[in-house]
Every structure is written in C-alpha cells, then in structure tokens.
C-alpha cells in the first residue's frame, strides 16, 4: 500500500512539473500570437500537443493508482485527507500547488484565446479593407504597389 502512495506522489509531481512547463509554453504562445508569427505558433502548438499528451498519460496512471488504492473519483485534497503524517502534508501541499497552477493555465488560455480572436478580427478587417480596392489579399503585390 505504501508503494502505491509513493507512486501516486511520483506521478503527481511529474504531472505538476508538466503543468509548469505548459505555463511557460503558454506565456511564449502569448508573445508569438501578438507578433503574428505563424511559423513559431505552429511549432509551439506541436510542443503544446506533446506536453498535453504527456499530462494525459500521467492522468491515466494516476487514475489507475487511485483505483488500486480504492480512492477512485476523489479529489487530491480528499486523497490527502485520507492519509496521515508527512504524506498528508505533502499531498495537501501538492493539492494547493495544483490549484494555483491550473488557475494560471486557465488564465493564460483565456488571454491567448482573446488575443487570437483579436488577431482574427484584425485579419478580417484588413481583408475587407483590401477588398474595397479590388485587391485580392491572396495575390502577391509588387514592390510598387
């Protein structure tokens, strides 16, 4: 039983580290969106996909361990409260850290979504403006234009 709690702590720590990595990526994404750099954005999306995949793997392992402990469908705080001593303190600390990191991820995703919507609006407006002059934005313009 103790081995399963050690495995749970290990996987939660790994998942937390991945979430922190995701936050750094989302911060970079925000900068790339504001610079409208499609190439960099595409690369960041690939990195984001990889991190998300690794987080999902951690989730699956965590769910399996919780099932083996008989603690399926419990929050991390509930799991922590079902233990004692130092383990309880470590798990409660992790639960608190997860709450903060997840809120940070939500906030950054919200900001990035708003920036993307703003960028799309800017592109649409530019397209419509160019269209009023019978310029097809898909065509290459000469230097003289």
The DSSP line for 24-72 is HHHHHHHHHHHHT-HHHHHHHHHHHHHHHHHHHHHHHHHHHHHHHTT-T
The dihedral through the CA atoms of 86, 22, 47, 57 has a sign that is: positive
Dihedral through CA 82, CA 91, CA 26, CA 112, nearest 10?
A: 40
pLDDT band of residue 110 (cuts 50, 70, 90) is: very high
Report phi then psi at 4, rounded to 5.
Answer: -65, -40
CA distances from 131 to 7, 13, 57 (A): 60, 53, 48
pLDDT given at position 145: 43
Tell me the mean pLDDT in the region 90-110. 96
CATH numbers and ranges of domains, the chain? 2-131 (1.20.58.300)
pLDDT band of residue 143 (cuts 50, 70, 90) is: very low
pTM above 0.95, yes or no: no
Tell me the mean pLDDT in the region 93-122. 92
């Amino acid at each position: 039983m103790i081995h399963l709690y050690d495995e749970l702590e290990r996987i939660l720590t790994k998942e937390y580290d991945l979430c922190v990595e995701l936050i750094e990526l989302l911060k970079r994404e925000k900068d790339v969106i504001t610079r409208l750099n499609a190439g960099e954005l595409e690369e960041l999306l690939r990195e984001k996909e990889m991190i998300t995949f690794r987080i999902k793997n951690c989730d699956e392992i965590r769910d399996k361990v919780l099932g083996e402990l008989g603690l399926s469908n419990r929050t991390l705080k509930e799991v922590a409260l079902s233990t004692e001593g130092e383990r309880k303190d470590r798990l409660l600390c992790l639960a608190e850290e997860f709450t903060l990191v997840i809120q940070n991820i939500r906030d950054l995703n919200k900001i990035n979504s708003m920036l993307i919507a703003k960028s799309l609006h800017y592109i649409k407006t530019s397209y419509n403006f160019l269209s009023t002059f019978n310029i097809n934005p898909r065509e290459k313009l000469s230097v003289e234009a």
